[in-house]
Structure 1
Amino acid sequence: MWETWIIELLKGIGLLFLNPVLYIGLLVTYMLGSKRVKQERKLFHIRVEDPMIEMKEYIVPSLLTGIVLSIITGLLGLNVPFEFVLLTGFLSLIFSIFLFVRLLTPVYTVGLSLLIIFGLSLYGFEGILDEGFFAFDEVFYPSIAVLLGLLLIAEGWLIRRRGALHASPLYEKGKRGMIVGAQKSKRIWLVPVLLFIPNGILDVPGDLWPVFALGDTEWAPIVVPFFIGFSAKARSTLLANVVQPLGMRIAAIGFVVLAIATAGYWMPYLSLAAVAIAIVGRAIVFYVYKSREETRPSFFTSSQNGLMILGVLPESPAERMGLRPGELLTKVNGRIVHSRAELYEALQSNRAHCKLEIFDINDQIRLVQNALYEGDHHELGILAVESRKLLPMEGVQ
């Protein structure tokens, strides 16, 4: 018995590596990293973050999230038709090929798949696919809606915990053509989830999974990859201040969807209501976020009191001293600085050591100092916002 389960589970995991979605995602993350580095070099003449950051995010936190979800879906015995797996994969590939990162979310891949299934059944296409979706009709709807709720919770958690990590700084044109700073994050997480599809060899008794299994139907486990795409830009505040509430609200929508979807096992068409709530709720959350960003004043602007830090290069003196984006650099070696030129001149007064006066994001002053070594960045590795106009060659793509 257990040997059969282990063999079938290994087969299901193996199917993950045969899924083209996995490799398309790798290609897309490589393209996102390359595009980001190209933009950073254009704006700052240096790449800020490792070009493999997107790839690392695609693999490590995604797999950990997938393991947790797979344990939950495995215990629940969550079952879906194989045609649903194909449909979600097709939508993921379409959105990926055209780099529609914002659309690579379970709301659209999983939610739209369920609505497409319902639409086909509603308009009488059962005869075309009588051995597929419609052999079980609405019986699968609650399982798909539960899956959507779980993936939304995972999406909210990933955005909240990982969305602002390694954010890319950039320049934009503000009022009167003067530059303002912003932080941007665009990435894809691939979350593999264990599901069960019919027509396997595992005989699951109805009393083992009394709600989620369909009587004594035979099942096959399969690990299905799901994309979670995230794209956000913060100009009115730090990106970390954006992703925290954004992630929490998306996770809250996921819990609501999960509750309604669970009730759908007794009233299947509640599953459609759960999907509608997910789509509308997530759209409202992102609309509110974008509206606030467009109406609020810019945070990363030039200041008469010093240099606003927009970014910090990894492994630089600025990183060693704990400088962070959003802080205001006012003095360097006792000299007041308002521009990169003044910063450079102040650093030249003592090439072996520097003392800085910083106002943090809470307007609390702190003094930091550090030794300088040969090969250190000539401006400490600080990317700052200063008062000047954005040049045409610096336009953000």
Structure 2
Amino acid sequence: MDIAADLARNALHALVQLAVQPFYYIGIVFVIVQYRRQIVLERQLFSTRLHSLIDTTWRTVLWGIVAGMAASFVMSFVGATVPLGVVVWLWVLSALLAVVQIRFVCLAYSVALLGVLHVVVSTFPSLTEIDYVGAALRPLQQLPISSMLALVGLLHLLEAFFVGKQGASMAMPVFVEGKRGKVIGGYQLQQFWPVPLLLLVPAGAGSAVLPWSPLFGGDIWSAGWTFAAMPVMLGFAERTTTRLPQDKARVSAKRLVVYAVAVLALAAGAEWLPGFALVGSLAVAALHEALVWWSKREESSRSPMYVHGADGLKILGVLPAGPAKEMGLLPGETIHKANGIKVRTKEELHEALRSNAAFCKLEVINTEGHTKFVQRALFAGEHHLLGVVLAPDDKAMYVVEERSVNWFTKAARRRPAGYASGSETGSGL
């Protein structure tokens, strides 16, 4: 009963810490800003929004809380020693890294930099005596590299779960320039989760004693424990022009699991192998960059999926409310005929649909190469192309630049008037 009361009391105290810290609220604002930018880009590219800002934000916050509670429970058996000064360092570094690239908001990069700084400060302790700078550097002397690496590994296991389950929910169709300058279709998968952690940390004499011994830390837990609030940010950003969004999310989730297991192994090395802290700190960022490189290399080696061919018009996306959604049309499928007329351009599809203004019958080739037939009555005021986002052609007005996730680069670049991108022509919305 005493341990239950201590857990409840300390958890309540940590929740109060979380409530008064600005970092968690900054994370939520960051998520809102990023999703709003995506919705603005959707309107710019497709003249409509494909996602709801309110719905996606509250789901993101809710799943972040679930992830935080799960990670906090596991870390109570692993062990963590995270001074408040380290929390400030994490958020400052995350903010600075996000200015360079949004994907750098991932905790792996901040922890890697903290690990390097920890080694520098430990090697040159006189740095902590420098006026003004010394006070900021002192928390780094006590930085628990093994615990921080374990936290990164655990959070990436949770991220792998979320990416596999909902990584495609915010997928946005985009027009991008292919390897030869031709405009092709693709998907931007990008999500962020602000995660509130309540970490079990050692405390001074007089505090409650744990009935178990955490994996990392050793004798430091004998003096007692308490909870410390530590909000962090999980981020996921991928782009695919060769897979369906859900397939890309599943592949990414599997790779994140492998990465998380490797980072947990690095955490064990940093705890029990002398001098391994610097190796583990550098490796956690290097392995994350290897994931990014692997994904880009795979994308460049595969044929683009969202381009029009001789069979008809490739569907890049489907609007959330419209005839196409009700008829069961899916991204990656090809519209072969409309009302019995073969269609190869957006104009031909429009004319075929106008041939029968009250009814529509489509012959569609699905992603497995099989033909299916769908039909539906049409009503006044509905989308003139049934609510489908077609793969782009040489008339596409905007393309999303490769560095569109950067704060300093425009999300969409307007293409020169009359620009033709070669023989891979087709239709854009």
- Give the TM-score, by structure 2 length: 0.82
The DSSP-based 3-state class of the residue aligned with 1:203 is coil
Task: Report the Cα offset of residue 15 of structure 1.
Answer: 2.0
1:340 equivalent to 2:346? Answer: yes
Task: Report the Cα offset of residue 222 of structure 1.
Answer: 2.0
Consecutive unaligned residues of structure 1, counting only runs of 5 or more, are: none
The DSSP-based 3-state class of the residue aligned with 1:144 is helix
Give the conservation status (yes or no) of the 8 Å contact 2:189–2:238: yes
> Per the alignment, do residues 101 and 40 of structure 1 end up closer, same or farther by CA in structure 2, a change over 3 Å counting?
same
Structure 2 distance, partners of 1:111, 1:383, is 41
The residue correspondences of 1:123-142 to structure 2 (distance < 5 A) are 123-124=124-125, 125=127, 127=129, 128=134, 132-133=138-139, 137=142, 140-142=144-146
Structure 1 distance, partners of 2:59, 2:274, is 36
Aligned to 1:156: 160
1:170-194 deviations in whole A, cap 9, x for unaligned?
2223477653211112231112222
Consecutive unaligned residues of structure 2, counting only runs of 5 or more, are: 402-411, 414-429
- Comparing 287-296 and 180-189, the one that deviates more: 287-296
> Per the alignment, do residues 393 and 286 of structure 1 end up closer, same or farther by CA in structure 2, a change over 3 Å counting?
closer
The DSSP-based 3-state class of the residue aligned with 1:170 is strand
Task: Report the Cα offset of residue 161 of structure 1.
Answer: 2.7
Structure 2 distance, partners of 1:367, 1:228, is 42
Aligned to 2:7: 5
> Per the alignment, do residues 236 and 114 of structure 1 end up closer, same or farther by CA in structure 2, a change over 3 Å counting?
same
Out of 184, 203, 206, the position equivalent to 2:207 is: 203
> Per the alignment, do residues 200 and 349 of structure 1 end up closer, same or farther by CA in structure 2, a change over 3 Å counting?
farther
Aligned to 1:298: 304
Structure 2 distance, partners of 1:221, 1:354, is 62
**Residue identity in the other structure for 1:13:** L
Task: Report the Cα offset of residue 37 of structure 1.
Answer: 2.3
**Residue identity in the other structure for 2:343:** V
Structure 2 distance, partners of 1:207, 1:268, is 29
Structure 2 distance, partners of 1:130, 1:297, is 51
- Comparing 238-247 and 145-154, the one that deviates more: 238-247
**Residue identity in the other structure for 2:325:** E
Structure 1 distance, partners of 2:265, 2:287, is 15
- Give the TM-score, by structure 1 length: 0.88
Structure 2 distance, partners of 1:14, 1:212, is 26
Task: Report the Cα offset of residue 381 of structure 1.
Answer: 0.5
The residue correspondences of 1:247-262 to structure 2 (distance < 5 A) are 247-262=253-268
Aligned to 2:110: 109
Structure 2 distance, partners of 1:245, 1:66, is 24
Out of 307, 317, 336, the position equivalent to 1:311 is: 317
**Residue identity in the other structure for 1:59:** V
Give the conservation status (yes or no) of the 8 Å contact 2:185–2:392: no
**Residue identity in the other structure for 1:167:** A
> Per the alignment, do residues 134 and 228 of structure 1 end up closer, same or farther by CA in structure 2, a change over 3 Å counting?
closer
Out of 269, 280, 283, the position equivalent to 1:274 is: 280
Structure 2 distance, partners of 1:77, 1:107, is 18
The DSSP-based 3-state class of the residue aligned with 1:143 is helix
Out of 41, 44, 48, the position equivalent to 1:42 is: 44
- Comparing 182-191 and 320-329, the one that deviates more: 182-191
Structure 2 distance, partners of 1:270, 1:175, is 41
Structure 1 distance, partners of 2:177, 2:140, is 53
